[in-house]
Amino acid sequence: MASVCRVGSTVGRSLAKYRNPILLSLRRQSSVSYAQSLAGAPETRLTALDNGLRVASEETGHATCTVGLWIGAGSRYESEKNNGAGFFLEHMAFKGTKKHPQTALEQEVESMGAHLSAYTSREHTAYYMKTLAKDLPKAVELLSEVVQHCSLNEADVEQQRAVVLRELEEVEGNLQEVCLDLLHATAFQGTPLSYSVLGPSSNARTLSRQDLVEYLGSHYKAPRMVLSAAGGVNHEELVSLAKTHFSGLSFEYEGDAIPVLSPCRFTGSEIRMRDDAMPLAHVAIAVEGARVGSPDIVPLMVANSIIGSYDIKSGGGKNMSSRLAAMAAEENFCESFQAFHSSYSDTGLMGMYFVTDMHHIEDMMHWSQNAWMNMCTTVTDSDVARGKKSLKASLVAQLNGTTPICDDIGRHVLNYGRRVPLAEWDARINAVTPKMVRDVCSKYIYDKCPAVAAVGPVEQLPDYNRTRASMYWLRTLKGKGGVFGQVLPPRVDIQVATMWSFPVWLCLVLLLPWCAQCQRGGSAGASPDQGMQTDTLAVDIVNRSGMLIGLFPPEFHPVLRQGRAPPRPASQLPKRAQQGSRFALSLDVPTSILSVLIDLAKNQDMRTKAAANAELMARIG
């Protein structure tokens, strides 16, 4: 893509110089298609050194470049005892090396006009420098010093301990980070993925120099590193620099004790940090998503693009293409929301995060889950087409400089063993169909236990059982067992039981006036025995006519026969029924026709849900 831009700028300068009207008209009429721009993107070259270090670069011809080391290490590789060691080590990296003390290191970077930075995530750590292309050799040298020969003296460790503690306090004010850390803590509880990147403050106070040295020796190995560069770089020159400065990097482990990631387990659960003094509630809900190399990741990305995002500070309002965003803007449901998907080496986390006031938490939770159900059942061709265009635009827009491109190369080589080009992403996105979105979303979302994290005034947050019940839809469909609501997998072609449901609803409509008359009679002071006899007569008439017996299979006949049970003595009636309460009819369950039907629905729902879940699991495989 950058090469296309360079050619375009060169042609533009030539046309502007000669000012030929014909050439200028051709310039105005010429255009490059999206597919052509992707095909013209620079190639990413990859080379592996003898010690296992991989060198990857993309030459774009810019006057600047970004070069860095991406390492397969993060908070997931830590234990409960040393959680936060990677983040602590990130702070220690710029406090000087054995060759360059802190002052000398800072002067070297400043003299180059460069920017030296680092970050740590759950599975990756990166040290990178953005500088002029002509200063690439010096940048690689400084990076090798920072990573291999970091000065870990006790004085610097104690000084950075106070800095890390202050940063932990600052992060507590970033409620989005707090909420998403809590989400990981509850979703992957009992596994290393539950650890936060920063670690607890107790560890920041107790981590020693020896802990940092052991972490370096265990994880900073050549096969787990990628030297990545983008911009005005030459790949052969970069490989030569890597051999010069990184050939001595160790690739062996003491006692062949190679660190192996323990499998992570997703747990549907909930965690709340209620604070009514806070003005807004921060809520995140997620299900287990796809791992990095899964073929399902692209349909899930399209689904998230369809759901979209919203911020009250941005424009669009009710005219936004996302239905959830338009509803949130029109009804003022939230301040902001975003759909996210975090992928890891063997699992993932797909969910939604929103910020709202305490009065709209339940509404926003309901419509967020409703958007998920729509992805599983009713997503349309137009929805998918819009989502694919939005996803393509975001993938291209995020690579808007040498630093994002360098980061993309480093992470891809660690995750996939190669750089996945934009043309391949485009082809995979084009292959997504509405059926594929529905199938994949049903696999990961439909009737799955979610993980929920909430911070702030979250009193109105629905109970977890209600949240779990909203992960599927109840439908009145015709099946083997009757006509009541059945939990069925999406897109199962079963006809609606119109012929069977009509007599049931007719019975209810005919009996409602009778029940209301019985209630009025009870509240007017009629004796309990009279009310029970009246109700029993109603049930008996319907049962003897064979109407209900004919509607339901034989296993429900004993339940129906309960309706013909003789009335209980007054001494055995509930206290409120003896007092002539208007609830007497509903309290005496065996003699209430409405309660009999409700019992039937509950029994039927339990059987059909179990059968439907078994069928869904069989279809998923």
**Active-site positions?**
90
Pairwise CA distance, residues 570 & 565, whole Å: 15
Which positions ≥6 away from 608 have C-beta within 8 Å? 479, 481, 484, 486, 487, 488
| DSSP notation for 77-143 | G--TTTTTHHHHHHHHTTSBBSSSBHHHHHHHHHHHT-EEEEEE-SS-EEEEEEEEGGGHHHHHHHH
- How does strand 348-356 pair with strand 336-343? antiparallel
Angle at CA 532, nearest 5°, toward 526 and 533? 95
Lookup: tokens for 255: 């006692």
Pairwise CA distance, residues 552 & 387, whole Å: 45
Is residue 451 a contact partner of residue 495, using CB atoms and an 8 Å limit? no
- Rg of the chain (C-alpha set): 32
Pairwise CA distance, residues 449 & 465, whole Å: 10
Is residue 89 a contact partner of residue 212, using CB atoms and an 8 Å limit? yes
Helix (H) / strand (E) containing 454: strand 451-456
For the chain, how far is it from start to end, CA to CA, in angstroms? Answer: 41
**Signed CA dihedral, 187, 188, 193, 194: sign only:** positive
Q: What's the full length of the chain, in residues?
A: 621
How distant, in Å, are the alpha carbons of 339, 346, 412, 460 from that of 293? 20, 8, 10, 38
Is residue 182 a contact partner of residue 171, using CB atoms and an 8 Å limit? no
Pairwise CA distance, residues 462 & 472, whole Å: 16
Lookup result for tokens 């009246």: 534
**Buried b / exposed e along 254-289 (16+ C-beta atoms within 10 A):** eeeeeeeeeebebebbbbbeeeeeeebbbbbbbbbb
Beta bridge partner(s), residue 341: 350
Is residue 76 a contact partner of residue 269, using CB atoms and an 8 Å limit? no
Distance of CA 296 to the CA centre of its chain: 14
How distant, in Å, are the alpha carbons of 49, 357, 402 from that of 66? 20, 42, 6
Q: How many CB atoms neighbour CB 46 within 10 A?
A: 18
Pairwise CA distance, residues 489 & 470, whole Å: 14
